[in-house]
Structure 1
Amino acid sequence: MSVVVPTQRRWRSVVPAWATLPLVGGGVIILLWVIIGFTIPLWAPYDPVSLAGMRFQPPSAEHWLGTDALGRDVFTRTLYGVRHSFPIAVVVIGCALVIGCTVGAIAGYVGGLLDSVLMRLVDVTLSFPAILLAMAVTASLGPGLGNAAIAMVIVWWPIYARLMRAQVLSVRNREHVEAAVASGATRPRVLIKHILPLCWSPIIVNATMDFGQVVLLAASLSFIGLGAVPPTPEWGQMISDGALQFYRWWIALGPGLAILTVVLASNFLGDGLRDFLDPRAK
Structure 2
Amino acid sequence: MTAIALTTFRRPSWLSVPLAIGIAIVLFWLAVTVLAPLVSPYAPLDMVGRRLQAPSWSHWLGTDALGRDVFSRTLYGAQHSIPIAVIVVTLSVAIGAMLGAISGYAGGLLGASIMRLVDVTLSFPPMLLAMAVAASLGPGLENATVAMVIVWWPVYARLMRAQVLEIREREHVEAAIAAGASRTRILFKHILPLCWTPVLISATMDLGQVILLAASLSFIGLGATPPSPEWGSMISDGASQFYSWWVALGPGLAILTIVLGFNFIGDGLHDYFDPKSK
Q: Could you tell me which residue of structure 2 aligns to residue 261 of structure 1?
A: 257
User: Structure 1 length normalisation: TM-score?
Assistant: 0.93
1:112-151 alignment runs, 5 A limit = 112-151=108-147
- Count of residues in correspondence between the two structures: 267
Report SS of the residue matched to 1:89.
helix
Distance in 1 of aligned mates of 2:174 and 2:148: 38
Measure the CA separation in 2 of the matches of 1:103 and 1:43: 43
Tell me if 1:276 matches 2:272.
yes
- Partner of 1:168 in structure 2? 164
Question: Which residue is 2:29 aligned to?
Answer: 33
Tell me whether 1:152 sits opposite 2:157 in the alignment: no
Change (3 A) 1:281 1:114: farther
How much has 1:43 moved relative to structure 2?
Answer: 2.6
Kindly state the Cα deviation for residue 52 of structure 1 after the two structures are TM-superposed: 1.2
RMSD of equivalent CA atoms: 1.2
Q: Which residue of 1 aligns with 2:74?
A: 78
Per-residue CA deviation, residues 7-64 of structure 1 (Å, 9 max, x unaligned), is: xxxx94xx8xxx7011111011001100111011123100101111010000011100
Q: In structure 2, what is the equivalent of residue 251 of structure 1?
A: 247
Q: How far apart are the structure 2 equivalents of 1:154 and 1:244?
A: 31
Provide the residue aligned with 1:106 in structure 2: 102
- Unaligned 5+ segments in structure 1 are 1-10
1:221 aligns with 2:217: yes
Instruction: Output the amino acid matched with 1:124.
Output: V
* Secondary structure of 2:188 counterpart: helix
- How far off is 1:106 after superposition? 0.6
CA shift for structure 1 position 279: 3.1
Could you tell me which residue of structure 2 aligns to residue 4 of structure 1?
none
In 1, Cα distance between the equivalents of 2:64 and 2:88? 30
The one-letter amino acid of 1:228's match is A
Counterpart-to-counterpart distance in 1, 2:130 and 2:39:
35
SS at match of 2:48: coil
Letter in 1 for 2:135: A
Distance 1:265 1:279 in 2: 23
Q: 1:67 — aligned with what?
A: 63
Instruction: Tell me the residue number matched to 2:182.
Output: 186
- CA distance in 2 between partners of 1:137 and 1:184 (Å): 46
SS of the aligned residue for 1:62 comes to coil
Which structure 2 residues correspond to residues 44-63 of structure 1 after superposition, within 5 A? 44-63=40-59
Percent identity of the aligned residues?
67
Cα distance, 1:69 vs structure 2: 0.3
Question: Matched residues in 2 for 1:59 and 1:50: separation?
Answer: 17
- The separation in 2 between residues aligned to 1:152 and 1:262, in whole angstroms, is 18
Alignment of 1:14-25 (within 5 A): 20-25=16-21
1:68-98 alpha-carbon deviations (Å, 9 max, x no partner):
0000000000011000001100000000000
Distance 1:207 1:43 in 2: 30
Residues in 1 aligned to 2:129 and 2:149: alpha-carbon distance in whole angstroms: 11
Q: Identify the match of residue 203 of structure 1 among 199, 203, 218.
A: 199
Separation (CA, whole Å) in 1 of partners of 2:140 and 2:50:
29
What CA distance in whole angstroms lies between the structure 1 residues aligned with 2:28 and 2:256?
A: 14
Q: Deviations over 1:201-242 (max 9, x none)?
A: 111000000000000000000000000010000000000000
User: 2-side partners of 1:180 and 1:64: how far apart?
Assistant: 63
TM-score by length of structure 2 reads 0.94
